[in-house]
């Protein structure tokens, strides 16, 4: 499989009064058509900033993409002009956001908001675009799509709104879909439906999906491959099977302990998992990272080496990478 | 909706009744009444004469009775008689209302035409030289006393035309009147335009930070489309509030501007009446202003309901 | 990709800013307009305090010989109808403006804080009654209420302060009330209550300091309004009486007539008012950006 999207050495820094914050610090990954890559980590680990960097939607100032390449269809998205980038957004690469309530324009009807992308990228006139918007709403299984297209976001339930967001993101049949915590703001019962919908539509549209989440349960259900991020860097990467079978990085292991195993395997009727509280401590402020391994202060296995030197990121087993000095023990 | 309206209208009524009591009480606190001022002016200090005037005007009756008489009259559409001119107060006030009304209307139109576009430009070009320039301009609008601005306009007019603009009560036709009132309207409206501009700017900046603006960008919308299709419509909602309230609060600017430009409107009349302790005029004019303010507030709320799809039946 | 100057980007974000002096410098660089405002306000206060030293002559000394004398080496800004030195009058006018502006703002804030705390804290019928009272006061434009108050109290410096302070009360009361309402239920207030602190003590020690930021922003804006309203009142002849040299009254004395004959009498008092209010507004804007994160642009 040739990768649809190839990201190399991506670096996104924020310039704050406390100093430089390396929100994304030299991250590489790739994702193929029809594949789902999950990027996992606690809040503040840089996963959302990675997503926004792909779209070139980092607020500047204070943020800047300082290095790297984002290759899509033979082009480096970081090199093209802003005007060309606009033709890419919503067309070749599109995004679903966490909060369907605040991410939809409150004074614009659902139909118009979906039609907007079509008018911009598909040369449709208003009527054609609105008609297609209704079809998209039908596709994401919203009942009475013609009626819903005329309604405003506040008139829809949370789940409906997220379906509408998905319809909006897929309207132009993008090559890459970035879903940033698409189910976090939703009720547990709705979460599974939305995930099923994303998986199903991915098959239909053959899109490459980058799923950003803090919830390993979601990962187990939907992803093919997983990247675990901590403090702006990758700490582990593997296919879903091997990762869940034997996590190599203590951070990943810690994340996993925070979900009940049994329910994870069944994948259904999962209770809302708590926000990964079983790892002691918090993500350190990114402007004050320790010299060695960023996870060392919270790590049960940490020793002097960890605190002194940053572990190299290497392939520990075939297709299974990690950055830790103690993967053997 | 119905319950909300009833509650809202009741509150308005309470406010207006309270206002009538407040104004009435304040005016009865005033040191000296019209009799003193009339006697002063005529150089006559015969206490009998003064007592006669006080009695004729009913000022010797108990305050509660005077208050009741006023309210009872208001309820029957009778505003009483002006002390100074001894004509029915309504005849004194009514012809002056359209003059101030036109001036205020023109001022607010000017303020909107100037304030909204400049506010948007200022926000979109945030922290550029243009933004700084416009912010200084809008702050100066809030800093210059409008009577001074009026005097400067008069001075410029003397300099360039050798004369000052004179209010002509016989000007008829739309354009003749607009032409006559344009300068004072700009002077009055400058402050409002500055307020509208600042609010439009901050409201725009607030909206531009919202998630749905990011969503629009993620769809590939251009800057122009993001600014005008997505942001402006949301940003204008709070601006409407300020326009509505400013339209009513324009009276403050009218008072001094009508004085500077010698325009015989209600605002200047209020100050004259206060100087003469002409209670019926002051009371009724103040109530009129309060009614306008309260009504504008009400209309703004109603406009919100119509324009914001989220707000329904409060 | 463009080359990025990390140090410049960091400096703009305000990294490595410590100490009183570098903080001040950072504020000046980050909010240049605010710094200009601070300088103007400082100059205004300085002028008001040291008016006696700065002004070359007595602002009330009349001399018929120099009636309406144009600006000269003797009268820098000309002389008025009574031959009084305009420059000295404007210097002393700062004192009147500061006295009325700061006095009205201070009194308005004290009353507003008391009403706002009572309203947000006692709630129930006290809140309801106070809210209706605020509604009534806000149903008239600031200047209209100030005019009526000024007329009913009679002309004097003290009464002018009072007449302007009262109309300023409702907006302060509303700000304090709403932050009090949101603060009362916060854990640290609950904690204070749990250790047996009295309600009044909680209100003053815990709730009030937390409403300070929006209050400072509002107070700065009100200082500007108060100075403007004083000027308007005096212009209309309802403000500070003689012999106090008030900028607003200087304009009413000269007003329309002197527009033709003695423009210096019209220009300078207006410049003084505008510059002062402009300074407070600039400072107020910068303070708002600094203190009120929600409004930060």
pLDDT tens digit sequence for A260-288: 544 444 444 444 444 444 677 777 777 77
* Residue C228 in contact with partner chain B when CB distance is under 8 A: yes
CA closest to A104 among chain B residues: B212
The DSSP 8-state label assigned to residue C85 in this structure reads: B
What's the structural domain count of chain C? 2
Domain CATH for B253: 1.10.3720.10
User: What integer pLDDT is reported at residue C224 of this predicted model?
Assistant: 92
Residues C140 and C260 in one domain: yes
* DSSP output for C224-257: HHHHHHHHHHHHTT-SSPTTS--HHHHHHHHHHH
Per-residue pLDDT of chain B (314 residues; tens, 9 = 90+): 678 889 889 999 999 999 999 988 888 776 666 677 666 666 666 777 777 777 777 777 788 888 888 888 888 888 888 877 788 888 888 899 999 999 999 999 999 999 999 999 999 888 889 999 999 999 888 899 989 999 999 888 888 887 777 777 777 788 888 888 889 999 999 989 999 999 999 899 888 888 888 888 888 888 888 888 888 888 888 888 888 888 877 888 899 999 888 899 999 999 989 888 888 889 899 999 999 999 988 988 888 877 777 765 44
Cα(B296)–Cα(B292) distance, rounded to whole angstroms? 6
Q: In 10 A of CB B168, how many CB atoms?
A: 10
Residues C83 and C57 in one domain: yes
Q: Rounding to the nearest 10 degrees, give the CA dihedral for residues B150, B152, B153, B159.
A: 150
* Residue A20 in contact with partner chain C when CB distance is under 8 A: yes
Q: In 10 A of CB B221, how many CB atoms?
A: 22
Nearest to B252 among C141, C270, C277 (CB): C141
Residues C127 and C139 in one domain: yes
- Tell me which residue range forms the domain holding A314: 3-100+176-322
Q: Is residue A185 assigned to a domain? A: yes
Say how far residue C164 (Cα) sits from the centre of its chain.
11
Shortest distance between the Cα of B29 and any Cα of chain C, in A, equals 6
Buried b / exposed e over B245-284, threshold 16 CB at 10 Å, is bbbbbbbbbbbbbbbbbebebbbbbbbebbebbbbbbbbb
Q: What is the ipTM of this complex?
A: 0.86
Residues B260 and B113 in one domain: yes
User: What integer pLDDT is reported at residue A271 of this predicted model?
Assistant: 47
- Tell me which residue range forms the domain holding B289: 96-307
More confident residue, B53 or C47: C47
Q: Encode pLDDT of A33-62 as tens digits.
A: 888 999 988 877 888 888 888 888 888 778
Residues B148 and B228 in one domain: yes
What's the order of all strands across the beta sheet hosting A19-32?
A19-32, A3-16, A63-72, A75-76
Q: Is residue A120 assigned to a domain? A: no
Range 19-58 of B in CB contact (< 8 A) with C: 19, 22-23, 26-27, 29-31
Q: How confident is the model at residue C97 (pLDDT cuts 50, 70, 90)?
A: very high
Report in angstroms the alpha-carbon separations of B103 from B110, B214, B258, C1: 11, 42, 9, 56
pTM of the model: 0.81
Handedness of CA B123, B124, B130, B134 (dihedral sign): negative
Average pLDDT over residues C42-49: 93
Cβ neighbours for C24, distance < 8 A, ≥ 6 positions apart: none
Domain CATH for A237: 3.40.50.300
Residues B21 and B147 in one domain: no
* Residue A327 in contact with partner chain B when CB distance is under 8 A: no
* DSSP output for A141-203: T-SSHHHHHTS-GGGS-HHHHHHHHHHHHHTT--SEEEEESTTTTS-HHHHHHHHHHHHHHHH
- Asked if B218 and A104 come within 8 Å (Cβ–Cβ), the reply is no
Q: Encode pLDDT of C253-270 as tens digits.
A: 556 677 777 788 888 999
Cα(B229)–Cα(B174) distance, rounded to whole angstroms? 35
Residues C12 and C120 in one domain: no
Residues C154 and C258 in one domain: yes
- Asked if A15 and C17 come within 8 Å (Cβ–Cβ), the reply is no
Report in angstroms the alpha-carbon separations of B193 from A1, B148, B222, C227, C269: 61, 17, 29, 20, 24
Cα(C32)–Cα(C39) distance, rounded to whole angstroms? 11
Residues C13 and C108 in one domain: no
User: What integer pLDDT is reported at residue A269 of this predicted model?
Assistant: 45
Q: Is residue B45 assigned to a domain? A: yes
User: What integer pLDDT is reported at residue A278 of this predicted model?
Assistant: 62
Residues C226 and C121 in one domain: yes
Residue C21 has pLDDT above 90, yes or no: no
Nearest to C14 among A17, A66, A79 (CB): A17
- Asked if A95 and B233 come within 8 Å (Cβ–Cβ), the reply is no
The bridge status of strand A19-32 relative to strand A93-96 is: unpaired
Residues B210 and B254 in one domain: yes
Which helix (DSSP H) or strand (DSSP E) does residue A14 occupy? Answer: strand A3-16
Cα(C197)–Cα(C189) distance, rounded to whole angstroms? 10
Q: Encode pLDDT of C119-175 as tens digits.
A: 887 878 999 999 999 999 988 989 999 999 898 888 899 999 999 999 999 999 998
* DSSP output for C156-217: SHHHHHHHHHHHHHHHHHHHHHHHHHHHHTSHHHHHHHHTT--HHHHIIIIIHHHTHHHHHH
What's the structural domain count of chain A? 1
Domain CATH for C177: 1.10.3720.10
Residue C281 has pLDDT above 70, yes or no: yes
Q: In 10 A of CB A273, how many CB atoms?
A: 18
Paired tokens of A62: 């204070």
Cβ neighbours for A17, distance < 8 A, ≥ 6 positions apart: C13, C14, C15, C17
Helix axes C264-291, B129-143, angle to 10 degrees: 120
Residues C144 and C14 in one domain: no
Counting every residue written for chain C, the total comes to: 297
User: What integer pLDDT is reported at residue A275 of this predicted model?
Assistant: 44
Q: Encode pLDDT of C176-235 as tens digits.
A: 888 888 777 777 777 877 777 777 777 777 777 777 888 888 898 899 999 999 999 999
Cβ neighbours for B127, distance < 8 A, ≥ 6 positions apart: none
In chain A, pLDDT over 70 holds for what percent of residues? Answer: 93
- Tell me which residue range forms the domain holding C20: 1-30
């Amino acid at each position: 499989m040739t990768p649809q999207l190839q990201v190399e050495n991506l670096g996104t820094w924020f310039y704050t009064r406390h100093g430089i914050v390396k929100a994304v610090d030299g991250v590489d990954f790739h994702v193929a058509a029809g594949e789902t890559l999950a990027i996992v980590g606690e809040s503040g680990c840089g996963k959302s900033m990675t997503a926004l960097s792909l779209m070139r939607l980092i607020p500047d100032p204070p943020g800047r993409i300082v290095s790297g390449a984002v290759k899509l269809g033979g082009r480096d998205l970081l090199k093209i002009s802003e005007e060309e980038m606009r033709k890419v957004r919503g067309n070749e690469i599109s995004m679903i956001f966490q909060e369907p309530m605040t991410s939809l324009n409150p004074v614009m009807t659902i139909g118009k908001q979906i039609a907007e992308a079509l008018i911009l990228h598909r040369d449709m006139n208003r009527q054609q675009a609105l008609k297609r918007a209704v079809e998209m709403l039908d596709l994401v299984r919203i009942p009475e799509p013609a009626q819903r297209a005329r309604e405003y976001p506040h008139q829809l339930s949370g789940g409906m709104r997220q379906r509408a967001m998905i319809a909006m993101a897929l309207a132009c049949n993008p090559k890459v879909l970035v879903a940033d915590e698409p189910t976090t703001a939703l009720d547990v019962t709705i979460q599974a439906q939305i995930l099923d919908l994303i998986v199903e539509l991915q098959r239909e549209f053959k899109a490459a999906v980058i799923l950003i989440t803090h919830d390993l349960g979601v990962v187990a259900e939907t992803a093919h491959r997983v990247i675990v991020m901590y403090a702006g860097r990758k700490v582990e990467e593997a296919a879903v099977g091997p990762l869940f079978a034997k996590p190599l990085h203590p951070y990943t292991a810690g994340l996993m302990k925070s979900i009940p195993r049994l329910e994870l395997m069944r994948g259904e009727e999962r209770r809302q998992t708590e926000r990964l509280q079983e790892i002691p401590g918090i993500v350190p402020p990114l402007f004050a990272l320790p010299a060695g391994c960023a996870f060392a202060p919270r790590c049960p296995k940490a020793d002097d080496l960890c605190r002194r030197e940053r572990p190299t990121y290497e392939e520990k087993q075939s297709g299974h990478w990690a950055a830790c000095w103690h993967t053997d023990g | 909706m119905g319950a909300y309206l009833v509650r809202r209208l009741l509150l308005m009524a309470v406010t207006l009744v309270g206002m009538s009591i407040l104004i009435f009480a304040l005016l009865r606190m005033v040191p000296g009444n019209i009799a003193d001022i009339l006697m002063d002016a005529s150089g006559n200090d015969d206490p009998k004469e003064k007592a006669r005037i006080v009695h004729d005007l009913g000022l010797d009756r108990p305050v509660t009775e005077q208050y009741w008489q006023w309210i009872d009259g208001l309820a029957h559409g009778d505003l009483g008689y002006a002390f100074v001119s001894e004509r029915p107060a309504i005849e004194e006030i009514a012809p002056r209302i359209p003059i101030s009304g036109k001036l205020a209307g023109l001022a607010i139109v000017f303020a909107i035409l100037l304030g909204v576009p400049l506010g948007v430009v200022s926000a979109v070009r945030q922290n550029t030289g243009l933004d700084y320039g416009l912010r200084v301009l809008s702050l100066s609008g809030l800093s210059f006393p409008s009577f001074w601005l009026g005097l400067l306009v008069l001075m410029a007019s003397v300099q360039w035309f050798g004369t000052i603009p004179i209010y002509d009560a016989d000007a008829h036709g739309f354009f003749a009147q607009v032409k006559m009132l344009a300068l004072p309207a700009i002077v009055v409206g400058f402050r409002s335009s500055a307020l509208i501009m600042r609010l439009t700017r901050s409201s725009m900046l607030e909206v531009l930070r919202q998630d749905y603006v990011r969503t629009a960008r993620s769809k590939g919308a251009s800057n122009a489309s993001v600014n005008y299709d997505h942001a402006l419509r949301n940003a204008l909602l709070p601006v409407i509030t300020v326009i509505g309230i400013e339209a009513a609060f324009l009276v403050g600017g009218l008072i001094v501007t009508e004085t500077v430009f010698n325009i015989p409107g209600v605002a200047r009349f209020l100050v004259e009446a206060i100087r003469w302790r002409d209670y019926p005029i002051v009371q009724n004019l103040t109530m009129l202003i309060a009614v306008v303010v309260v009504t504008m507030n009400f209309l703004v709320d109603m406009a919100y309901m119509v324009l914001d799809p989220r707000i329904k039946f409060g | 990709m463009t080359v990025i100057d990390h140090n410049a980007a960091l400096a703009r974000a305000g990294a490595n800013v410590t100490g009183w002096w570098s903080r001040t410098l950072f504020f000046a660089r980050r909010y240049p307009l605010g710094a200009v405002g601070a300088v103007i306000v400082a100059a205004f206060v300085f002028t008001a305090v040291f008016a006696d030293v700065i002004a070359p002559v007595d602002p009330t000394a009349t001399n018929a010989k120099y009636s309406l004398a144009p600006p000269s080496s003797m009268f820098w800004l000309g002389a008025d109808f009574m031959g009084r030195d305009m420059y000295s009058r404007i210097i002393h006018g700062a004192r009147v403006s500061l006295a009325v502006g700061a006095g009205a703002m201070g009194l308005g804030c004290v009353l507003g804080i008391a009403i706002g705390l009572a309203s947000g804290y006692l709630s129930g019928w006290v809140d309801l009654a106070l809210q209706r009272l605020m509604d009534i006061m806000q149903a008239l434009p600031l200047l209209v209420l100030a005019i009526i108050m000024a007329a009913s109290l009679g002309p004097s410096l003290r009464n002018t302060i009072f007449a302007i302070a009262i109309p300023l009360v409702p907006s302060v009361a509303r700000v304090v009330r709403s932050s009090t309402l949101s603060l009362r239920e916060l854990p640290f207030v609950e904690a204070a209550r749990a250790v047996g602190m009295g309600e009044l003590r909680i209100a003053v020690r815990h709730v009030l300091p937390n409403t300070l930021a929006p209050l400072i922003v509002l107070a700065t804006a009100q200082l500007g309004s108060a100075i403007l309203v004083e000027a308007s009142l005096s212009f209309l002849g309802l403000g500070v009486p003689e012999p106090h040299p008030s900028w607003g009254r200087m304009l009413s004395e000269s007003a329309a007539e002197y527009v033709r004959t003695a423009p210096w009498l019209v220009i300078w008092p207006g410049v003084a008012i505008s510059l002062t209010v402009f300074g407070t507004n600039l400072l107020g804007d910068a303070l708002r950006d600094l203190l009120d994160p929600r409004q930060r642009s």
